[in-house]
Amino acid sequence: MKILANDGISELGKMLLEAAGHHVSTSKVAQEELANTINQQGFDAVLVRSATTVRQVVIDACPGLKLIGRGGVGMDNIDVAYAREKGLTVINTPASSSQSVAELVMGQLFSISRFLNDSFKNIETGDFSTLKKNYAKGVELRGKTLGIIGFGRIGQSLAAYALGVGMKVIAIERRARIQPIHLKIAGQTLEIPVKVVANLAEVIGQLDYISIHVPKQPDGAAVIGPKEFALMKKGVRLVNTARGGVIEESALLAALEDGTVAAAALDVYENEPNPMQALIAHPKIACTPHIGAATIEAQDRIGEELAELIIAFAKEA
């Protein structure tokens, strides 16, 4: 197969594919040239991450395309149902980036609890004594309650880390249940039950921290908007590494201004790659540029999983 990895693929993934006899191109093609390039160069498969979209117009324009692959979890940048209806195979790698995203969230939780993002920006030019006073009201994670909205692989991986630092965890998902979380410490495995509730409104007022791990909603509606902010505990801290739009950004800014939200951390935005300047410049928001899965280890796992899926597909074709 001839494969265009338009948003890149790890060296391990590329090596495995080429060892199996496939040709892999990692040359970046502009979105508006994607269909022409696929057709002119005869690509059988296109692999994307979050930067490239594969919509109906591309699918219709590329009759020779057989497979679309997403290196990561969410596939809202691909018209999945339409592609499958047209006979294309669509694959993704839901398990490969769970740990890296969970670790980013933990880093963000520490950061927004101790003003690390804002103090880093100001320490070089600010007055040390004044800054020390400004950042003297940090809080500890231990003993606080973390609400995890969406409790799939990433949410459960985050729960293990949060439990490990002494946080209480409540998960919110469509199906209420008790979910065992396996916590590995010093060669031992502990099983800790986590309560999963189906109604966010019932528990949102108990939460000191909230982390969101749900896909973009089919109707485009925010999961967290003015109604949810109105129910939150004063001084809650919020993290979004899921998708832009699951938090209503204007409502978040208002909640930061009135003190409902003490701080927020965002890795995803409604208008990527050009986020709202008010978010980036806000002293109470720690921003990262959609790097949840951007670790060497995760990219190797993603590349390896993509390669295995493509090799299996080619054998069956």
Q: Which residues pair with 149 in a beta bridge?
A: 172, 212
Active site annotation includes 272: yes
Q: Report the sign of the C-alpha dihedral through residues 187, 189, 190, 194, in that order.
A: positive
Of these residues, 243, 249, 282, 301, which one is catalytic? 243
Q: 268 phi and psi, to 5 degrees?
A: -135, 155
Angle at 79 between CA 247 and CA 304, to 5 degrees: 90
Contacts of 103 (CB under 8 A, 6+ apart): 161, 295
> What torsion, rounded to 10 degrees, do the Cα atoms 206, 211, 217, 222 define?
60
Whether 239 contacts 292, CB under 8 Å? no
Contacts of 234 (CB under 8 A, 6+ apart): 259, 260
Of these residues, 49, 237, 290, 301, which one is catalytic? 290
Alpha helices per DSSP H over 63-192: 80-85, 98-113, 116-122, 128-134, 153-164
Catalytic site positions:
243, 272, 290
